[in-house]
Amino acid sequence: DSNTRGQVRLATGRRPAPDVPQVEFVECATPAAVLTELDKGGIDVCVLDGEAVPMGGMGVCRQIKDEIFNCPPVLVLIGRPQDAWLATWSRADAAVTLPVDPVEFASALASLLRRKALLGA
């Protein structure tokens, strides 16, 4: 959804925190496109919309955690705080509720980018 993508881009800015690199976005419209991009490599963090249809980001997250070797960290956007258990089921590394709170989102994204950098993968 273009509104959600806009919220994510706005909350991220050029970089979500001073100590992490600038962010470049790769947008995917289908689960197959997500798998293709991840197979290419070079993705540091995935941000998936848990409210997307027909296959939500939580289903995609579970699939990529099962199928992608060294899957990058995943931040899932959820519709309600009560859906946090679904994010856990999906094996997401972080979850942020919609609409995107810029401070919460930037903090979660920066944390995942730092973790990825520490792992050196």
Q: What is the pTM of this model?
A: 0.93
Question: pLDDT digits over 20-70, tens only?
Answer: 999 999 999 899 999 999 999 999 999 999 999 888 999 999 999 999 999
CATH number at 8 reads 3.40.50.2300
Question: pLDDT digits over 83-116, tens only?
Answer: 999 999 999 999 999 999 999 999 999 999 999 8
DSSP 34-69: HHHHHHH-----EEEETT-SSS-HHHHHHHHHHHST
Q: Would 86 be classed as within a structural domain? A: yes
Q: Would 110 be classed as within a structural domain? A: yes
Domain that holds residue 98: 2-116
Q: Would 121 be classed as within a structural domain? A: no
- Quote the tokens at residue 94: 């972080």
Task: Give the total number of structural domains in the chain.
Answer: 1
- Quote the tokens at residue 99: 């609409």
Q: Would 95 be classed as within a structural domain? A: yes
